[in-house]
Structure 1
Amino acid sequence: LTPNPQPPASPLQPCLLSTPCSAPPPVPISVMDASGHCVCTVILPDDTFPLRRIELLETSARNLTLRLQEYGQRLAWYEATLQNASRRLQLLEVGDLTPTELDFQELRKEIGEMESFVSHLRSSLNGSDTTVELQNMSVTVSALESYDKNHVVAMRRDPPCSNPLDPPPSNPCDPPIPPGTCNHRGIWRLGKPSVVQLNWRGASYKAGAWGKESALRAGQKERYWVALLNLDGRRLDSVRLYGSYQDLLLSRNHTDQLITGFGQGAGPVLYNGSFYYNCYNARDLCRLDLESGAVDRKAVPNAAFNNRFSYTGTSWQGLDLAADESGLWVLYATERSEGDIVIGRLGPGSLALEKTWQTSQYKPAATNAFMVCGVMYATRAVSTHREEIFYAYDTRTGRESRLSLPLDKVTDVVRSLSYNPSDHKLYMFSDGYLLRYDVLFRA
């Protein structure tokens, strides 16, 4: 299989296409060599993967970075010059310095240089090369995004369809599972982590949670949320809301919603217009209506709280809320369960438990847990750079199973995990960093 085939040295005769040569478009050219072997040549289309565009994009980004660094250095120098000139003018005004013709000439020269640089900077940013280059980069990025929609990036990330190492139950070439549905046989694997950003308060704030709103109401736009705990890793004062993923990436157009009475722990979730969390210093669930600001609360019967039976490595996460395709859940432990995880399903629009399931998984032995299609998945640390999903409990059948699904991470401690059914992504808050993963299912 060669992108640029060379003419064969020996005479070749046309032959019928065999199975390896009868692939779908692009149409192969097939001939038979002197030894009777069928030789298949395929001319690969130019848009198989936009490597050239990526190289151009990297070059443009590098050139812009160098240019901005140069402007930054010159701006810093002129800022220092301007401050020095300002001090000299102040001395002239108060009479501590005797003015001379040389002083004014020097000031005039410095001001002229700064005017020239400002004019050059304005023309460079306002017309011209930089603006055009930025526009070209924007167009290129949009074009590259279209390749991702055509699953080119997914094909690079996941094994090809013909990979003999694929386990028989899974096939990455099956049609994708529609968001919000459960027409699959559970999680097959997780994609590589995408590091979105460090939280806006910095690396000192290591505990918190984030994600995308679940169960959007009709006509409601998507929202992303980030909830940082205080430096003590316990108290939750507010939640920051973004109107889109782009706004979150660029740290713009956000609103901060204060939490009356405070919450605690890294187990909150944004669901259907309300923010659900563990009320401070209680076994109660709280629900904050983001439109009215009203707060409802209700106790979870017998739930351990205040750092009793929290996940390993993560304090104060007694009540862990989770949303999936089937509704809203709370994961907790009780003294009666001896620390094993209890799964509680909340009634529609209610804080009351509709039904509970008792698992055999000791909560402090897991680093975190989340729900997908009524199945609870628990994780544990394998090393400083890898977790694994090792346990599952299916509330539909009552069956437990042991798994070993790797989950890469960028820091040691996983503070929270939040699955979103509308985009099939897993959102992780790890020592201050916001990460997300593609969740791939067995068809």
Structure 2
Amino acid sequence: MYLAMILQLFTLQIIVHQVAYASDSCICEFKNAEKPFPHNKLKTVEQDAVKCNQDVNPQKAREFDGLLLALEQRLPELVAEVSELELENDGDLYGAITLQVIHNDMAEIQQLVNKLNSTHLGFRQQNSNMFETLQDLKEEMQQLEAFDTMQTVKREKTNIRLTRDLDHCKNGCSRSPPVNPSNGAGPRCVNVTGPRVYTSGEYPGSYKYGSWGRDPKPDAGKENWYWRVILTSSNIYAHYVRRYTTLSALIVGISTPGNVQISPSNPTTNTIQGPSAVLYGEALYYNCYKEAAVCRFNLTSKTVQSAMLPAGTRVNSKGNYCHLEACYPYTDLDLATDETGVWVVYTTTEDHGNLVLARVGVEDGRPVLGETWHTSVYKNSATNSFVAFGVLYATRYVTQDVEEIFYSLDTATGVERFDVGIRITKMSNHIYSLNYSPVDQMLYAYGEAFMTSYKVKFE
């Protein structure tokens, strides 16, 4: 320790002058021969670095990827429509109608291409500017490192590199979730990849809560349609579902069918409450306003019917999904779809707050509750759930960037697992609704005004 102090004094090249004023006293004057540290320059570098982080982030890259994916899916559809016209054109009414459809589709694709081009040009200019800025920052940092006589920065860089290598080893070497063939409803989920789509649609930054996805059982001609429910009143209620004819239409924010309205205002008896709604068979399933009940809104007849849940069901934000820092309001009832139909996840006082799963059937247009399963998972310890191939999966919050599928229940065998261990990369800090679509085997997440989709991999 003393040796280090002596070396530091030598490094500083301290010059001592002795000035005598009396025989028994002296004054020592210390002068530092080193250049003064440029604090203003360091502050400027820090400000430039913060600006770079704000200008360049993964979310902007995801926006470009989403536009590209939408265009990639839309072009084959247009080719198929043109081929159909060539084969079946009767030169009369059918041809005129089909040509108009193709014309509308081409206009939509042109809008998507224009947005893609503008985004691409913006990225090119931004990349050029960022390259020059980073070069300047690199040179300035190299000059500032000359003042690091104790080599603190060098050691810090070494520590960061070692930490990064350790994290990479942990992620790369960790075992995949065990694949146990199920004797029950279907194959198990073994991985979730993506995000595949990341967009805010036509309302950037607005409407934090909601849900979106695809109808697993659509009417003819609506196989490629998407839907979206946004909570427009106090982040609690909604009174319409919005439809989009294609993924590209949803991304650029064109809803040709427009809003399918349940009621003219919020809240009313049939109002959607909470962010966990799903569309199945041209009917919207959701938590009825202030009731322990599942509502079914028929989009064709514009009628609403409901099914009451058991006594003691927790509603009105008393049985929410939660994590250590917060709960997601009005997530008491979580509707889900899979290959077999519609499900509802809830909790009751009799189950001491644990998750309960029930089938939702339909009789004469009215929803009815079917078989029920009781789990060992406390609902407040989970952040979301979904059903795929008759298996219930629950997620939990890990970090701002990671969500984990930690639990599963096979409804065919009744077997519960707490070691699923599948991680999901989040694009927003929280996921308020999560639903699986068997149409494309995708997960559709909605959180903080953004819509994100992920590909589900099965054994």
TM-score range normalised by the length of the shorter chain? 0.5 to 0.7
1:344 aligns with 2:361: no
Amino acid at match of 1:256: N
- Once the two structures are TM-superposed, the CA of residue 241 in structure 1 deviates from its matched residue by 0.7
Q: Which moved more, 1:200-209 or 1:280-289?
A: 200-209
SS in 1 for 2:251: helix
For residue 440 of structure 2, what is the aligned residue in structure 1?
Answer: 423
- Once the two structures are TM-superposed, the CA of residue 411 in structure 1 deviates from its matched residue by 1.3
| 1:282–1:168 Cα change, 3 Å | closer
1:374 aligns with 2:390: yes
Q: How does 1:4-403 map to 2 (within 5 A)?
A: 184=187, 186-217=188-219, 220-230=222-232, 232-252=234-254, 253-260=256-263, 261=268, 262-302=271-311, 303-312=313-322, 313-349=327-363, 350-402=366-418, 403=420
Q: Is the 8 A contact 1:264 1:279 kept in 2?
A: yes
Q: Is the 8 A contact 2:213 2:226 kept in 1?
A: yes
Q: Which moved more, 1:361-370 or 1:342-351?
A: 342-351
Total equivalences in the alignment: 278
Q: Is the 8 A contact 1:327 1:348 kept in 2?
A: no
For residue 408 of structure 1, what is the aligned residue in structure 2?
Answer: 425
SS in 2 for 1:247: helix
Q: Counting helix residues as a fraction of each chain, which structure ranks higher? A: 2
Supply the distance in 2 between the matched residues of 1:286 and 1:194 (Cα, whole angstroms): 31
RMSD between aligned alpha carbons? 2.9
| 1:183–1:298 Cα change, 3 Å | closer
- Once the two structures are TM-superposed, the CA of residue 243 in structure 1 deviates from its matched residue by 1.5
| 1:413–1:164 Cα change, 3 Å | closer
Amino acid at match of 1:301: P
Give the TM-score normalised by structure 2.
0.56
Supply the distance in 2 between the matched residues of 1:189 and 1:346 (Cα, whole angstroms): 27
Structure 1 regions of 5+ residues with no counterpart? 1-56, 62-130, 139-162, 171-180
| 1:274–1:168 Cα change, 3 Å | closer
SS in 2 for 1:265: strand
Q: Is the 8 A contact 1:204 1:231 kept in 2?
A: no
Give the TM-score normalised by structure 1.
0.58
Supply the distance in 2 between the matched residues of 1:395 and 1:266 (Cα, whole angstroms): 25
- Once the two structures are TM-superposed, the CA of residue 164 in structure 1 deviates from its matched residue by 10
Supply the distance in 2 between the matched residues of 1:231 and 1:348 (Cα, whole angstroms): 29
Supply the distance in 2 between the matched residues of 1:246 and 1:341 (Cα, whole angstroms): 36
SS in 2 for 1:292: coil
Amino acid at match of 1:206: K
- Once the two structures are TM-superposed, the CA of residue 204 in structure 1 deviates from its matched residue by 3.8
Q: Is the 8 A contact 1:182 1:325 kept in 2?
A: no
| 1:436–1:292 Cα change, 3 Å | same
For residue 456 of structure 2, what is the aligned residue in structure 1?
Answer: 439
- Once the two structures are TM-superposed, the CA of residue 217 in structure 1 deviates from its matched residue by 4.3
Q: Is the 8 A contact 2:201 2:252 kept in 1?
A: no
Q: Which moved more, 1:197-206 or 1:225-234?
A: 197-206
SS in 1 for 2:367: coil
Supply the distance in 2 between the matched residues of 1:214 and 1:342 (Cα, whole angstroms): 23
- Once the two structures are TM-superposed, the CA of residue 237 in structure 1 deviates from its matched residue by 2.1
SS in 2 for 1:246: helix
SS in 2 for 1:248: helix
Q: Is the 8 A contact 1:325 1:372 kept in 2?
A: yes
Structure 2 regions of 5+ residues with no counterpart? 1-63, 69-109, 118-171
Q: CA-to-partner distance for each residue in 1:76-118, whole Å, 9 max, x for gaps?
A: xxxxxxxxxxxxxxxxxxxxxxxxxxxxxxxxxxxxxxxxxxx
- Once the two structures are TM-superposed, the CA of residue 245 in structure 1 deviates from its matched residue by 1.4
Q: Is the 8 A contact 2:185 2:410 kept in 1?
A: no
Q: Is the 8 A contact 1:195 1:433 kept in 2?
A: no
Q: Is the 8 A contact 1:320 1:332 kept in 2?
A: yes
Q: Percent identity?
A: 33
Q: CA-to-partner distance for each residue in 1:152-198, whole Å, 9 max, x for gaps?
A: xxxxxxxxxxx99985977xxxxxxxxxx9753x0110012134311
Supply the distance in 2 between the matched residues of 1:165 and 1:333 (Cα, whole angstroms): 34
Q: CA-to-partner distance for each residue in 1:208-237, whole Å, 9 max, x for gaps?
A: 111111222456533211111135221112
Supply the distance in 1 between the matched residues of 2:197 and 2:220 (Cα, whole angstroms): 31
SS in 2 for 1:396: coil
Amino acid at match of 2:214: K
Supply the distance in 1 between the matched residues of 2:178 and 2:307 (Cα, whole angstroms): 43
Q: Which moved more, 1:262-271 or 1:238-247?
A: 238-247
- Once the two structures are TM-superposed, the CA of residue 347 in structure 1 deviates from its matched residue by 2.1
Supply the distance in 1 between the matched residues of 2:177 and 2:380 (Cα, whole angstroms): 34
Q: CA-to-partner distance for each residue in 1:298-341, whole Å, 9 max, x for gaps?
A: 21122211001111131101111101011110000001111101
Supply the distance in 2 between the matched residues of 1:245 and 1:269 (Cα, whole angstroms): 17
